[in-house]
């Protein structure tokens, strides 16, 4: 199985400041034939199901604010919130869909400092 | 717009079978173009993919659950999950989710990211 490791486990950021979440896969999840990274990012607010933010590592899902960005390739990926808003308090998960079983990272809890 | 809604008993006894349904509204589960998934989340923990079914009927199950799980689709536009011989370790929030289809260059279909989720249903395994 491909192991997905997120860091940090939690972070507290002041409103308007940048938040950066890292995700590392134990194997390359870039498919060379199509140059796509099989990685998604989700946001889960308390009491709600996860919500897709990014797919193919950097393609923003419709409706996601542009203060969110996804980057990275191969085995190292980053989710960045450029200017943290109160409504961004949530747990964020990365997930690989390169090979079965599809594994999620352990999650990163983002709070307001 | 397509919506997913899970339903089922909130309490299941140990060794019995957990049976959940996900009703898809606003679209046909059999029309193709999507994989239909079950994912669970243990209390206060992360997400675990249970498995999925393609509209063609092909399925995949997480090896950790493969011996006990069955996912199916019925004609009433519902996705079903059956998990046999449950224990307390199966206590979790269960979600159904839709994943788009991505085609490799060879034309082989493959699931994409989970773009639509149900609200989830909490299942507790206890006597």
Q: Which of A49, A95, A96, A107 to mutate to test the interface with B (most CBs of B within 10 A)?
A: A49
In A6-109, which ranges are continuous DSSP H helix? Answer: none
- A100 to chain B, any CB pair closer than 8 A? The answer is yes
**DSSP-derived 3-state class of residue B62:** coil
Average pLDDT, chain A: 97
* C-alpha–C-alpha distance, residues B39 and B46, integer Å: 10
Q: HSE on the CB side for A54, CA within 13 Å?
A: 28
Give the pLDDT confidence of B61-70 residue by residue, as tens digits: 999 999 999 9
Residues from chain A that touch B116, judged by Cβ atoms under 8 A, are: 52
- Per DSSP, B28 falls in state -
Element (H, E) at A75: none
Our measurement of the distance from residue B73's CA atom to the centroid of its chain's CA atoms, rounded to an integer in Å, reads: 10
- B60 to chain A, any CB pair closer than 8 A? The answer is yes
Average pLDDT, chain B: 95
Q: How far is B41 from chain A (nearest CA, A)?
A: 10
Give the pLDDT confidence of A57-76 residue by residue, as tens digits: 999 999 999 999 999 999 99
Q: How many CB pairs under 8 A join A and B?
A: 58
User: Lowest-pLDDT range, A6-10, A40-44, B43-47, B55-59?
Assistant: B55-59
């Amino acid at each position: 199985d491909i192991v997905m490791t997120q860091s940090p486990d939690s972070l507290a950021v002041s409103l308007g400041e940048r938040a950066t979440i890292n995700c590392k896969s134990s194997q390359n999840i870039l498919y060379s034939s199509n140059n796509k990274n099989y990685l998604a990012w989700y946001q889960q607010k308390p009491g709600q199901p996860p919500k897709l933010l990014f797919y193919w590592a950097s393609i923003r899902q419709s409706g996601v604010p542009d203060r969110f960005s996804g980057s990275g390739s191969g085995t190292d990926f980053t989710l960045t919130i450029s200017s943290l808003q109160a409504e961004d308090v949530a747990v964020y998960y990365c997930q690989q869909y390169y090979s079965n079983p599809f594994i999620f990272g352990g999650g990163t809890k983002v709070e307001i400092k | 717009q397509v919506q997913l809604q899970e339903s089922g008993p909130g309490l299941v006894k140990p060794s019995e079978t957990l049976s959940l349904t996900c009703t898809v509204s606003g679209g046909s589960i059999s029309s193709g173009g999507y994989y239909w998934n079950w994912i669970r989340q243990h209390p206060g923990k992360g997400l675990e993919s249970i498995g999925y079914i393609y509209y063609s009927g092909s399925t995949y199950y997480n090896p950790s659950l493969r011996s006990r799980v069955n996912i199916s689709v019925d004609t009433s536009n519902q996705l079903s999950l059956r998990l046999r011989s449950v224990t307390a370790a199966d206590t979790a929030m269960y979600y159904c989710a839709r994943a788009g289809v991505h085609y490799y260059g060879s034309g082989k279909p493959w699931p994409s990211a989970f773009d639509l989720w149900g609200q989830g249903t909490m299942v507790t395994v206890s006597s």
